[in-house]
Amino acid sequence: MNTTTSAGLRERVARIKITPAIPAVLMPLLQLFNAPPEDANINEIVRLVSYDNSIAAQCLRVAGSPLFGLSKPPKSISAAVVSLGLNRVKSIVVTCCMGQAFPEKKWALPPVVFWRHSLGCALVCRKFCEKIAGADSEKAYLAGLMHDIGFLVNSLTFPEKFEAAINHARDAQTPLNEAEQAAMGFTHSESGELLAKQWGLAPEVITVIAHHHDAEYTGPAQGLVATVHLCDLLCRMRDMGYGYYERHKVDMVNDPAWITLAKEHKDLEGIDLVRFTFELDESITEIRNLVALVFGGQPES
Amino acid sequence: MSPLAPNAVAPGSAQTGGPIDPIYRQIRDLVYNVSGIYQLEEKLYLLADACSRRMKEIQVASPRDYWDKLTAHASREGELRLLLNEITIGETCLFRSQPQLDALRKVILPEFAGERVKQVVKRLRLWSAGCSTGEEAYTLAMTMIEETEGLLKGWTIEIVATDLNDRSVEAAKAGVYGDYALRNTTDYYKRKYFTLVDEKKLQVRPEVKKLITFSRLNLKDDSKVLFMKGMDIIFCCNVLIYFDGPSKSRVVEHFFSNLNFGGYFFLGTSESLLKLNDQFHLVHFPGTISYWKPSLKSGKL
């Protein structure tokens, strides 16, 4: 990205008119959630979530999804914290806030496709980390959920160019980030990073947003970046991509990101990747239902 | 419902409409660990149906007692084989796995075409190992004919199809199929590649047949399998599930050496090689998995 484009992009991102739609509770909640676990102020979190009735109600419904571990919605946010733990409630709250931050409108990328990919990636990241000792699965969930927010920036700020990129990627059946680079001179990684900084997201989530297409990334949060990179690829290979066929072959175990991750986590070798893939397929229906619940629209058949 | 969900409510069974007996998950895992066949959670009722047919046959009253049959030393091998028959029964048809054919046409063949652009004589050898009554071999033949009208113009295509069973091989040579086997075959293919035998049956045209050599072969016969050299793609679907670990491992080693560098080996869509071979690279294509013998120039062997 050249300097002029970069400055123009930064200015446009700063002017994104999402403020009226963004739930007022999201920013203070993200601040609270960013605090170290020992400093977590549970009462304040419960109070803030409960403050916005529509978010609170949605959180309770989401908590009742099998994907989040309860068989029926809990009666209150504090009951959800007791049953599911603070970290999982955090995932639920941020998921619901994201749904409200970007209300469904005429996007270049169909919202249901975008959210299915984001939520699918979030859940696959969480599941993947549950298989690896010492990996923070809820952090991976949030990073997976947020990794593509740059698509929303591009959709809102550069609608024509972004639509051209999508159309090109769909016709040529190539990865969307490559088409973005060709059509716009930058990708959702860059625009997403700008928005993430503006929002004050956690530094490691910002790093994931900026580098999730860079398989060879090393540096701070490299394990998290590698996790999201791999789970993003896997989702795109299992019907949770951007809604079109990508002519793409993915060799996960020989991907540099996998090799990076394997250095940190010796037990990665033990993962049965084929079974993991089959299990991922089993979640697709639930993920579709959840997308309809949080982000609107009808569940796809 | 999903294994991503720790407390997921069990799905209903086709027979009772009620929650499925958790023992079927144990049976699912047993079947997977022994054969590599994975029954998706949402299809668990099919496994339950297969078990109940076996239970009726051998007069076992409860799923728990049937589990004992599947695990008791005296009966386990024979019973598991019979259960696998029930699980895979009726799966065979032409154009069974669209994701595999898409991977072939959209990713693999363009890859081969690119790699062999400088070769004067361009040929491709495919092997349908355990071809049963020929559905897979004919599907491949028709698909390849379509490709020789475009991407693979001027290429020589050779398909070898083998099965242990003489009667299957004879039926395969005849190439006569009814509605059930043709349920995924479009009118385009029916018109172009079949002739009418009677009102219920179609026969494959000679120009398709001439691409294929059918013969009897026992995959456990090392001396014969050794000679199946120079393959580019091997399909071996729902065959190895019946082999014990050492035999399966040996066949897979043969497949590896039978394949040219850069070649691919496909199993059935819900089948895994488990961890029987570390020479192949597990690769993902949209909606399907394959095992790849890396090209020499990729330096990944």
Yes or no, beta carbons of A282 and B275 under 8 Å apart: no
Yes or no, beta carbons of A173 and B106 under 8 Å apart: yes
Yes or no, beta carbons of B285 and A279 under 8 Å apart: no
Q: Whole-angstrom Cα distance, residue B286 to residue B152? A: 22
Residues of chain A positioned with their CB less than 8 A from the CB of B273:
274
B10 pLDDT exceeds 70? no
A300 pLDDT exceeds 70? no
Identify residues of B whose CB sits under 8 angstroms from chain A CBs. Answer: 1-9, 32, 38, 40-42, 102, 106-107, 110-111, 270, 272-275, 281-287, 289, 292, 300
Query: Which runs of E-coded beta strand occur in A13-109?
Result: none
Averaged over B105-120, what is the pLDDT?
94
Task: Identify the closest residue of chain A to B264 by CA–CA distance.
Answer: A249
Least CB-CB distance to B42: which of A249, A253, A282? A282
Yes or no, beta carbons of A254 and B281 under 8 Å apart: yes
Chains A, B: CB contacts within 8 A come to 106
| B228-243 pLDDT, tens digit each | 999 999 999 999 999 9
| A157-172 pLDDT, tens digit each | 888 999 999 999 999 9
Least confident among A40-49, A89-98, B151-160, B217-226:
A40-49
Enumerate long-range contacts of B272-277, CB under 8 Å, 24 or more apart: B272/A272, B272/A274, B272/A275, B272/A278, B272/B32, B272/B36, B272/B37, B272/B38, B273/A274, B273/B36, B273/B240, B274/A272, B274/A274, B274/B33, B274/B36, B275/A272, B276/B245, B276/B248, B276/B249, B276/B252, B277/B249, B277/B252, B277/B253
Q: Whole-angstrom Cα distance, residue A68 to residue B7? A: 9
Predicted confidence at residue B48, as pLDDT, reads 93
From the CA of B42, how many Å to the nearest CA of chain A?
Answer: 7
Reported as a pLDDT band with limits 50, 70 and 90, residue B105 is: very high
Task: Identify the closest residue of chain B to A68 by CA–CA distance.
Answer: B5
Contact status, residue A277 vs residue A234, Cβ threshold 8 Å: yes
Averaged over A196-202, what is the pLDDT?
84
B12 pLDDT exceeds 50? no
Least CB-CB distance to A286: which of B1, B111, B284? B1
Task: Identify the closest residue of chain B to A125 by CA–CA distance.
Answer: B4
Contact status, residue A56 vs residue A29, Cβ threshold 8 Å: no
Question: Given CB atoms, is A249 within the 8 Å cutoff of chain B?
Answer: yes
Yes or no, beta carbons of B284 and A250 under 8 Å apart: yes
Predicted confidence at residue A86, as pLDDT, reads 82
Q: Whole-angstrom Cα distance, residue B169 to residue B216? A: 7
How much of chain A is helix, strand and coil, in % rounded to 5?
A: 70, 0, 30
The closest alpha carbon to B139, from B168, B159, B166, B110, belongs to B159
- How many CB atoms lie under 10 A from the CB of residue B243? 18
Averaged over A274-281, what is the pLDDT?
94
Predicted confidence at residue A297, as pLDDT, reads 65
Yes or no, beta carbons of A278 and B270 under 8 Å apart: yes
Contact status, residue A119 vs residue A291, Cβ threshold 8 Å: yes
Least CB-CB distance to B4: which of A123, A173, A237? A123
Least CB-CB distance to B285: which of A70, A237, A278? A237
Residues of chain A positioned with their CB less than 8 A from the CB of B115:
none
Question: Given CB atoms, is A160 within the 8 Å cutoff of chain B?
Answer: no
Helix (H, G, I), strand (E, B) or coil at A129: helix
Question: Given CB atoms, is A41 within the 8 Å cutoff of chain B?
Answer: no
Angle B56-B58-B61 from CA coordinates, rounded to 5°: 60
B4 pLDDT exceeds 50? no
Residues of chain B positioned with their CB less than 8 A from the CB of A237:
284-287
Q: What is the DSSP letter of B107?
A: I
Percentage above 70 pLDDT, chain B? 92
Averaged over B177-200, what is the pLDDT?
96
A298 pLDDT exceeds 70? no
Reported as a pLDDT band with limits 50, 70 and 90, residue A296 is: confident
B134 pLDDT exceeds 50? yes
Exposure of A210 in the CB half-sphere (CA atoms within 13 A): 18
B175 pLDDT exceeds 90? yes
The tokens for A110 are 């169909």
From the CA of A267, how many Å to the nearest CA of chain B?
Answer: 15
A115 pLDDT exceeds 60? yes
User: Going by C-beta distance under 8 Å and a sequence separation of 6 or more, which residues neighbour residue B59?
Assistant: none
Yes or no, beta carbons of B4 and A283 under 8 Å apart: yes
Task: Identify the closest residue of chain B to A128 by CA–CA distance.
Answer: B4
Reported as a pLDDT band with limits 50, 70 and 90, residue B17 is: low
Contact status, residue A207 vs residue A221, Cβ threshold 8 Å: yes
Mean pLDDT of all residues in chain A? 86
Predicted confidence at residue A156, as pLDDT, reads 81
B42 pLDDT exceeds 90? no
Model pTM score: 0.89
Contact status, residue A58 vs residue A294, Cβ threshold 8 Å: yes
Reported as a pLDDT band with limits 50, 70 and 90, residue A23 is: low
Percentage above 90 pLDDT, chain A? 45
Averaged over A35-58, what is the pLDDT?
80
Least confident among A7-21, A123-137, B195-209:
A7-21
A132 pLDDT exceeds 50? yes
A20 pLDDT exceeds 60? no
The tokens for B204 are 């494959």
